Chain A
Amino acid sequence: MSAEMAIAVAILLPALGALLVALLGQSPNLRDCAMLSVATATFIVVCTLYPEVASGGRPTLHLLEVLPGLDLAFQIEPLGMLFSLVASGLWILTSLYAIGYMRGHHEENQTRFFAFFAVAISAALAAAFSGNMLTLFFSYEVLTLSTYPLVTHHRTPEALRAGRIYMGILLSTSIGLLLLGVLLTYHVAGTLSFIQGGILAGHATPLMTGILLFLYAYGTGKAALMPIHRWLPNAMVAPTPVSALLHAVAVVKTGVFTIVKVVVYIFGIDHLSSTGFHIYLAYIAGGTIVLSSLVAMQQDNLKARLAYSTISQLSYIVLGAALANAHGILGAGLHIAMHAFGKITLFFCAGAIMVALHKTEISDMRGIGRQMPFTMAAFIIGSLSIIGVPPLGGSWSKWYLALGAADTSHLLLVGVLMLSSLLNIAYLLPIPARAFFSKATSDDGHHGEGIHEAPLFCLIPLCLTALGCVLLFFFTDPIYQLLAPIVQP
């Protein structure tokens, strides 16, 4: 299969999968098999692209010219390759998990759920592969619209309210700011292509560059920079697989991916760091990291706590991009993968607890470690990876981010990263500690003593992602080698 074909197939497969899922809605087993095979096939197709990108190739696919000089075009570069591998790989595990979760939880309208889920993956892959800002913007909007039915899946007044906030923030930022940023970029630079070294240098004044930086940073609502982060905790009304794959990986990572990509290929690291505006964004990201960690500590609902943790971790990536130096960008890129594995593990665990024990509040989770030992062990691994403890993947990305922060000689930013690690410990580790070391409360005796894990469909994926966190520590080098070219001058 030629690379061009592979790009088209990787984007179309999930979309066709959505159609297939919708058609097979009558027989759930067949439908779920179809979905799993589509997810696997998509991952394999994405993998076939890896060797070429790793050896320095940039597979390109021009679809059509939407506006004069503005194509709908895809070009795979290292960041997009990494993001697409993560998203499509985790989609397989999430599909497995979703089968167990949706059945175990007796959710309604599963067909609609799986269909829109596949559309969202298709949009995320299109975003990952996009070859210019227009294509990225298109994919970004499709992703917003296709996840709306997932967030509001339960159709309750609460879901309706959350859906309003979700659409309200994501659409108003993307239409109000991101579109303006894209247009201004086009107006100033005369192109929207992603080019190594940026397209703004020599076209935009420092002030214009600063304005554009903030239009992009706040236009990308999916990156959940404070104060436009509220949609993310609200989106947690969705079923857990959505929170796991979309609101810890695909959707939010599309947001931060957009910011990193824009910094590298639109602004250019050198041009951006010469203006000095990047450091303001770095401080905003630093503020978001600390503040949302503090908010996370107040949350008793497990998913809400994880959501605020995600907001904080997303800002690590924004911070890395805003540092506008090689270490920062590498750290940001690595963190896209590392955080994905850590956070999806935690969400899988949260969902498993919900399915097996019907518990959502952390204060109710005393002693559940004895009933769900595997789940809680995975939870510990995921937490440690998020905190950044070796030998887990998260430690590498934090290492590079801290290096990048040190390079800017803004030591306060290094301090923020260290403080945040402490805060991570404070809000994540008490959960497994309580689960293992506290006595169970007496009111849930109906589950009895002994092991009561979630269905295997739920348990296996979360063990695999936890294993992934460990493996990523030892096999970081290929990712590093993949990403290294984007920061070479």
Chain B
Amino acid sequence: MSSHLPIVPIVLPMIAAPLCSLLRRPALIWPLTTGVGWLVFAACAALLMQVVESGPIVYTMANWDAPIGIEYRIDLLNAYILVLVSGIAAVVLLYAPQSAASELPQDRHHLFCAAFLLCLTGLLGITITGDAFNVYVFLEISSLASYALISVSRDPRALKAAYKYLIMGTIGATFILIAVGLMYMMTGTLNMADLAQRVKMVEDTRTILMAFAFLSIGIMLKIALFPMHAWLPNAYSYAPSLVTAFIAATSTKVSLYVFLRFVFTIFGAEYAFDTLGFNDVLLPLALLGIVVASAVAIYQTDLKRLLAYSSVAQIGYIVLGISMGTVTGLTAGLAHMFNHALMKGALFLAVGCIVLRLHSSRLEDMAGLGKRMPITSFAFVLGGLGLIGVPLTAGFISKWYLLLGTLELGWWPVTVLLLISSLLAVAYVWRFVEVAYFQPPPAEASSDEAPLSMQIPLWMLLATTLYFGLQTDVTAGLAQRAALWLLGGGQ
């Protein structure tokens, strides 16, 4: 069994998805989906432990060896992402039934579960596979599933948002496909390990340069790097809350993983950064994203949209860390991928609790929320403190490495800009604080806390962000090992 462990995270949700659409009864499908989610999480955690103990795992699909068959290759970097994605999925699924009952049409639950599981399959597949074309296939599975997940919302605007995401996402995916095609043309292989060796031999050809260009723009679209983020705020705002929590925490992170995988292990840091000077492109975009998106977030009137812009800014932090090209910078980027996923996941879950009771995510409707939903409001504030990077939260750890990275390089203006952006984060988090705690609740409002089945997952995620604010072996420690490995070209 343990030798087949690597395919469990893919096969299990993939089989469960059609089952869900056949079973149709909410009482059956939710336990099934949740059970699958936790099993997948357990499998991913086991994989991570195995990798930490005994090094990378290679699994050949149906015993067809690499150049012909598809290979799953699990190393420290993607094991880390696997655990993150499956963990968030498992927690969100605990939360889902209650939230879905209020936000989704009653007759679509089975389809929703199926789409959710397919999305999970896709995200895990992208992460686990060692085959470049396979990445594209799973990318499409997860993307198509997420368009469906977003559009299922009762809000009619969600359809438009999903459509916009569909267009942008498809352009991104197509660019990635073109890049994979060009690389195949030059090297005759789709296996990433082989690609890594053969691309080096032809790296000064124009074809590989084009492949790199298509790939990087395609992925930038998927990770919503400023200014290619246009699809994100609408998609996050109008999707059902639990979808937003899941997608915000995982989808962009997986795309970032693809980015790291291709740039560092296939093209190599030397080619991307030294030969092409790619960090000169990433750095300004990241900085612009951080400042502009944080500033825009301050002026939002809708809490989900505010968090969405905050996500664009936080993605800027991660890309900034990557663009430094140093161990500290990359550690910061990787640690922040993890920490941001947990924090944003928790925040969107808190918003879901609020939406459940208020049927609105507009800030103006949240007057006096501190009295009406004291626990949820407090949870939101704690999560917000993480976004600011207050000590004792996970956000502080990533910011510490990020700032240390800029100091090591002597990038003074960047250091200052980062500190200013933390203050912008204070400003947008405090908008919620002032509405929730300083405005009197409307007269007819009663105290009405969200049910325990939603509070527990929310606090589980929050507790992890606080835990990883103090215990950084798993986040920063593994991130540093992964960063060293990436800078060594993944050897």
Instruction: Type the 1/0 row for A45-72, where 1 means its CB is closer than 8 Å to any CB of B.
Output: 0000000000000000000101110001
User: Are A66 and B470 in touch, CB under 8 angstroms?
Assistant: yes
Given contacts A66-B472, A141-B390, A176-B420, contact A167 B434 (CB under 8 A): no
* Interface size bracket, B side: 20 to 34
User: Are B476 and A176 in touch, CB under 8 angstroms?
Assistant: no
Q: Which of A161-180 contact B (CB under 8 A)?
A: 164, 167, 171-172, 175-176, 179-180
Q: Which of A66-120 contact B (CB under 8 A)?
A: 66-68, 72
| CB-CB nearest in chain A for B389 | A175
Given contacts A64-B470, A66-B470, contact A183 B407 (CB under 8 A): yes
Smallest beta-carbon distance B33→chain A, Å? 37
Given contacts A67-B397, A167-B426, A175-B423, contact A155 B438 (CB under 8 A): yes
* Interface size bracket, A side: 20 to 34
Whether B430 sits at the interface, judged by CB under 8 Å, is yes
A171: chain B residues at CB < 8 Å are 388, 423, 426
Report the Cα distance A160→B436, complex, angstroms. 12
Partner of B423, one of A145, A172, A186: A172
Instruction: Type the 1/0 row for B427-450, where 1 means its CB is closer than 8 Å to any CB of A.
Output: 000100010011000000000000
Instruction: Type the 1/0 row for B400-438, where 1 means its CB is closer than 8 Å to any CB of A.
Output: 100110011000000100011011001000100010011
Whether A313 sits at the interface, judged by CB under 8 Å, is no
Smallest beta-carbon distance A378→chain B, Å? 36
Given contacts A66-B472, A138-B392, A160-B438, contact A183 B423 (CB under 8 A): no
A447: chain B residues at CB < 8 Å are none
B470: chain A residues at CB < 8 Å are 64, 66, 72
Smallest beta-carbon distance A3→chain B, Å? 23
Report the Cα distance A187→B409, complex, angstroms. 11
Whether A142 sits at the interface, judged by CB under 8 Å, is yes
| CB-CB nearest in chain A for B425 | A175
Given contacts A138-B391, A141-B390, contact A184 B407 (CB under 8 A): yes
Whether B21 sits at the interface, judged by CB under 8 Å, is no
A155: chain B residues at CB < 8 Å are 437-438
Whether A137 sits at the interface, judged by CB under 8 Å, is yes
Report the Cα distance A359→B419, complex, angstroms. 43
Report the Cα distance A152→B426, complex, angstroms. 17
A141: chain B residues at CB < 8 Å are 390-392
Q: Which of B6-44 contact A (CB under 8 A)?
A: none
Q: Which of A432-464 contact B (CB under 8 A)?
A: none
User: Are A183 and B391 in touch, CB under 8 angstroms?
Assistant: no
B320: chain A residues at CB < 8 Å are none
Instruction: Type the 1/0 row for A18-59, where 1 means its CB is closer than 8 Å to any CB of B.
Output: 000000000000000000000000000000000000000000
Partner of B415, one of A142, A172, A180: A180
Whether B455 sits at the interface, judged by CB under 8 Å, is no
A184: chain B residues at CB < 8 Å are 407
Whether B123 sits at the interface, judged by CB under 8 Å, is no
Report the Cα distance A186→B403, complex, angstroms. 11
B408: chain A residues at CB < 8 Å are 187
Given contacts A141-B390, A152-B438, contact A64 B471 (CB under 8 A): yes
A152: chain B residues at CB < 8 Å are 437-438
User: Are A180 and B434 in touch, CB under 8 angstroms?
Assistant: no
Pick 13 A–B contacts, CB within 8 A, sort by A: A72-B470, A138-B391, A141-B392, A145-B385, A145-B390, A160-B434, A164-B430, A171-B426, A175-B423, A176-B423, A183-B404, A183-B407, A187-B408
Known contacts A142-B391, A176-B423, A180-B415; 9 additional CB pairs below 8 A are A66-B470, A66-B472, A138-B391, A160-B438, A171-B388, A171-B426, A175-B423, A179-B419, A183-B400
